Amino acid sequence: MGVLLTPGFLEAEAALALEVGRLLGWERFTLARGRTSLEGSAGAVWTPRYTFAARPQLDVLVVPGGGNMRKLGRDAAHQAWLAEVWEGLRAALGGANAALFWLEAGYLSSRPAAHPAAHAALRAAALEPVASPYLWQGKLCTTQGYLTLVEALLDWAGFSEEARGHLGLGGRPKAR
């Protein structure tokens, strides 16, 4: 599982996705366009483990929300990289306002789930956000972000509410 780091990314979403991957026993890593350290929205500085050009095979991609998601979705380097990896992905998930990234990159064609902070921008692009915490459209999942991103990852991995409880990820284990 790769977690795409972008300038101003939401560290909480990136960290949650990486932790879920760890608990599930998945190979996981961060990646970005370049090897330069990136400052997240809360001020933490992360250095990506891999770049677009030098990375392991991806089967799951998580794009945390963050600043300038529309601009990054229009970025030629991001678009070229997505075109290169898209066919090999089994799932692509977006955080709080990452629906704007997917929209500009050309992968979002219908109503997305998104954090309320992104609703006005989505409506301006003639897309009405859904009330659902997350929404799958083929292999692309848009979410309201944060814990709903975790919920979508766990659902995709096939973890029941009971299994989540045993992993310490919420849910209620059955009484014994």
Determine the pLDDT at residue 101.
97
Rounded to an integer, what distance in angstroms lies between the CA atom of residue 68 and that of residue 116? Answer: 16
Determine the pLDDT at residue 129.
96
User: On the CB side of 18, how many CA atoms lie within 13 Å of its CA?
Assistant: 15
| Pair 69, 102: CB distance under 8 Å | no
User: On the CB side of 73, how many CA atoms lie within 13 Å of its CA?
Assistant: 21
Q: Tokens at residue 161, please?
A: 């509410």
Domain map of the chain by residue range? Answer: 2-88+98-167
- Specify the DSSP class assigned to residue 47: -
The predicted model gives 61-85 an average pLDDT of 96
Reply yes or no on whether the pLDDT at 26 is more than 80: yes
Percent of the chain with pLDDT over 90: 84
Mean pLDDT of the chain: 91
CATH 1.20.1050.10 for the 2-88+98-167 domain, yes or no: no
Tens of pLDDT, residues 159-176: 766 655 655 555 443 333
Element (DSSP H or E) covering residue 2:
strand 2-4
| Pair 17, 5: CB distance under 8 Å | no
The predicted model gives 125-131 an average pLDDT of 94
Tens of pLDDT, residues 33-63: 999 999 999 999 999 999 999 988 999 999 9
Reply yes or no on whether the pLDDT at 110 is more than 80: yes
Contacts of 94 (CB under 8 A, 6+ apart): 62, 63, 65, 101, 102, 140, 141, 142, 143, 149
Using only C-alpha atoms, the chain has a radius of gyration, in whole angstroms, of: 16
Residue in 173, 174, 172, 134 with CA at minimum distance from that of residue 153: 134
Q: Which residue has the higher pLDDT, 158 or 75?
A: 75
Measured from the Cβ of residue 64, the count of other Cβ atoms closer than 10 Å reads 31
